Amino acid sequence: MRLWMLMIAAVVLSFISLFIGAIDIRISDLFDWESDKTQIFLISRVPRLMAIILAGAGMSIAGLIMQSLSRNKFVSPTTAGTLDAAKLGILISMLFFTNVTYTQQVIFSFAFALAGTFVFMQILDRIKFKDVIFVPLIGIMYGNILSSITTFFAYEGDLLQNISSWLMGSFTLIIAGRYELLYISIPAIILAYIYANKFTVAGMGEDFAKNLGMSYKVVLNIGLILVAIISTTVVLTVGVIPFLGLIVPNIVSLYLGDNLRKTIPHTAVLGVVFLLICDIIGRVIIHPYEIPVNVTVAVIGSAIFLIMLFRGRAYAKK
Amino acid sequence: MIEIKGLTKRFGKKPVVEDVSVTIEPGTITSFIGPNGAGKSTLLSMVSRLLDADTGEVLLDKGNVKKWKSSEFAKRVSILKQANFINVRLTVRELVAFGRYPYSKGRLSTEDEKFVDQALGYMNLIEMQDKLLDELSGGQKQRAFIAMVIAQDTDYVLLDEPLNNLDMKHSVQIMKILRKLVDDLGKTVVIVLHDINFASVYSDRIVALKNGRLVKNGPTNEIINSDALREIYDMEIPIQEQNGCRICVYFNSHA
């Protein structure tokens, strides 16, 4: 697959995404700057598209970085406790401060996402049995433990409904003024590309990296910080989108290999394309109502994931 | 010159390497030999800074290796540990190009490309340079990793059991290439070997370890004799001369 093909697909799908929804907007409507339709377009449709693009590219790259650093094809923010830790952070911020500000939520959730992922990497360092399937299973269990702690305290503090809104990834509530946090992931994505070679080298192990004169720990920590930044911004604006960081990098790895310099652009654009397709399906299938994107992603993603598991075990193991 | 001075490493309470002092002569192949658990790989890891020693020091050109800047050290000394488990899907050329990382930080200059081409040619990998590592056989993979170390262009090349999992043909191929690195390019090779006959035929000097201690250190012909080998391996090993090579016939020895 070529990058320009993916780009064209992304542009076409973006265009479709802008012009479907409960209210019928045509291009000709946009010439009237004052009309309601133009306002809806600018306040709802454009922000939604931007959110999809940033979340799609961001989560896919976060997954790619984690797979490289953990040297396991099935590790991603959803299978390593990152997102669960981020949610726990939001909850703690709400319990601590009676009138919690957005900034406080962001900081807490970032700190927890970072610490949570770091703990997972430490666990990974310690276990002897590093089977491709076993490692993500541990990650999922670990995430579930974090998640049940969250649920318990949320129940105690009467915040269950509040918390469950972050469980569900959806672009329905994205309007201007409620998604701008996602722009923070742009510098994180650019940094990921600048560090691509270092992540590739670190992905071949500590000894290998040290031989080439690279400080492994620094690269590892930078990677984890980037993952935490991206995951936090996505969880706080869109919610949890499962599978994205898992399947997109793996599909790219299958046809392009593991040199991150080469794969990061593909991973970003394919992530956008995949998320756009899922969102568009969710919006047309029971039009004029919507299915939240995490449902369509989960259905399509789990199918692809199963195929990958059965066909790809040999590939991931090699 | 690399000088190892009084190096000790303990894992828990058990000493794995104890008070070892060796000087690596430049322009030679030095083999580390000894029974299992003798501390050969641990010693090699400390020389290359992958492990920190508990006491003692390693000097590279009179300077403690710990004081060397990582990026400068990586231009002088390279280490290849057993690499067959690495499952990254890179092409052979991409892997070899990473050998230039200490110089290029990822942006290859035309000079870097030249080194990569040379290393690929040296290891006979030109034809398969665009193949992914996971499509290669064990021997080809090993050659690709050695090509990477050659592209790194260090004075000292340290290899930890590079013949593991290789058949006879590929083992001989790799030892011949290491010989060429020393004789033609003036490199210094330090290698951990299990097969004592490869050590006998290809190395200039042999360092023998046993239970973490240095038992023998000298030119190959001083070590490959029944007396010295008895001390190292606790085995009676007759030596036979064949075309000027000393071969240890240990297969039917009584311990």
| A313 vs B: CB within 8 A | no
CATH of the domain at B126: 3.40.50.300
| pLDDT, tens digit only, all 255 positions of chain B | 899 999 999 998 889 999 999 999 999 999 999 999 899 999 999 999 999 999 999 999 999 999 999 999 999 999 998 765 677 889 999 999 999 999 988 788 999 999 999 999 999 899 999 999 988 888 888 899 999 999 999 999 999 999 987 889 889 999 999 999 999 999 999 999 989 999 999 999 999 999 999 999 999 999 999 999 999 999 899 999 988 899 999 888 765
Q: Which two tokens stand for residue A139?
A: 């990650």
Inside any domain, residue B97: yes
The highest-confidence range among A49-53, A71-75, A154-158, B162-166, by mean pLDDT, is: A49-53
Give per-residue pLDDT as tens, A8-17. 999 999 999 9
Of residues A163 and B147, the one with the higher pLDDT is B147
Q: How many domains does chain B have?
A: 1
In DSSP notation, chain B reads -EEEEEEEEEETTEEEEEEEEEEEPTTSEEEEE-STTSSHHHHHHHHTTSS--SEEEEEETTEEGGGS-HHHHHHHEEEE---TT-----BHHHHHHHTTHHHHTT---HHHHHHHHHHHHHTT-GGGTTSBGGGS-HHHHHHHHHHHHHHHT-SEEEEESTTTT--HHHHHHHHHHHHHHHHHH--EEEEE-S-HHHHHHH-SEEEEEETTEEEEEEEHHHHSSHHHHHHHHSS---EEEETTEEEE--TT---
Give me the residues of B, 34-63, that contact A with CB < 8 A: 45, 48-50
| Cβ within 8 Å, pair B70-A213 | yes
* B121 belongs to a structural domain: yes
User: Is B70 in contact with A204 (Cβ distance < 8 A)?
Assistant: no
Nearest CA of chain B to the CA of A133: how many Å? 15
Query: Mean pLDDT, to the nearest integer, of A194-223?
Result: 93
Among chain A residues, the shortest Cα distance to B159 is held by: A211
CB contact under 8 Å between A211 and B48, yes or no, is yes
Is B30 in the A-facing interface, judged by CB distances under 8 Å? no
Report yes or no: A317 at the B interface, CB cutoff 8 Å.
yes
pLDDT of residue B27: 95
Looking at the complex, report in whole angstroms how far the Cα of residue A318 sits from the nearest Cα belonging to chain B. Answer: 5
> Cβ of A212 and B81 within 8 Å?
no
pLDDT at A166 over 80: no
CA of A196: which chain B residue's CA is closest? B106
**A157 interfacial to chain B (CB closer than 8 Å):** no
In a domain, residue B21? The reply is yes
Contact at CB, B88 and A200, closer than 8 angstroms = yes
pLDDT at position A318 is 45
d(CA A196, CA A190): 10
Q: Is residue B88 part of a domain?
A: yes
Query: To the nearest whole number, what is the mean pLDDT of chain A?
Result: 90
**Are B94 and A257 an interchain contact pair (Cβ–Cβ within 8 Å)?**
yes
Q: Considering only CB atoms, which chain B residues are within 8 Å of A200? A: 88, 90, 98
| Binary contact (A208, B86; C-beta < 8 A) | yes
Residue B255 belongs to some domain of the structure? no
Distance from C-alpha of A87 to C-alpha of A89, rounded to nearest angstrom: 5
Best of A71, A200, A212, A260 to substitute, by most chain B Cβ atoms within 10 angstroms, is A212
In chain A, whose CA is at the least distance from the CA of B145? A208
- Which chain B residues are within 8 Å of A201, Cβ to Cβ? 98, 101
Of B45, B90, B102, the CB nearest to A257: B90
Both tokens assigned to B16: 């794995």
Under 8 Å between Cβ of B122 and B147? yes
Q: Tell me the C-alpha distance between B27 and B10, whole Å.
A: 31
Query: What is the predicted pLDDT for the residue at B100?
Result: 95
Q: Nearest-CA distance from B56 to chain A in Å?
A: 21
Within 10 Å of residue A175's Cβ, how many Cβ atoms?
A: 16
Residue-wise pLDDT tens digits, A271-317:
999 999 999 999 999 888 889 998 999 999 989 988 887 776 555 55
Q: What is the pLDDT of residue B167?
A: 87
Alpha carbons A148 and A167: distance in angstroms, whole number: 13
Contact residues, B window 171-210, toward A, CB-based 8 Å cutoff: none
Omega within 30 of 0 (cis) for the link into A292: no
Q: Which residue of A has its CA nearest to B132?
A: A257
Q: What is the domain range of residue B225?
A: 2-248
CA distance B77 to chain A (A): 8
For residue A99 the two structure tokens come to: 């009138």
Report CB contact under 8 Å: A71, B87.
yes
Q: How confident is the model at residue A264 (pLDDT cuts 50, 70, 90)?
A: very high
Please determine, for residue A162, whether its predicted confidence score (pLDDT) is greater than 70: yes
Cβ-based neighbour number of residue B155 at 10 Å:
18
Cβ <8 Å between B81 and A207: yes
Q: Which residue has the tokens 């490959």?
A: B224
Tell me the pLDDT tens digit for each residue of A90-109.
Answer: 889 888 887 878 888 899 99
Residue B253 domain-assigned? no
- Inside any domain, residue B254: no
| Closest CA relative to residue B62, chosen from B139, B2, B149 | B2
For residue A73, the distance in angstroms to the closest alpha carbon of chain B comes to 10
More confident residue, A99 or A53: A53
In the prediction, which pLDDT does A244 show?
A: 92
Which residue(s) pair with B31 in the sheet? B191, B206
Q: For tokens 């020895």, what's the residue? A: B253
Distance from C-alpha of B34 to C-alpha of A163, rounded to nearest angstrom: 61
Q: Which domains does chain A have, with CATH numbers?
A: 40-317 (1.10.3470.10)
**Closest in A71, A212, A317 to B101, CB measured:** A212
What is the predicted pLDDT for the residue at A176? Answer: 87
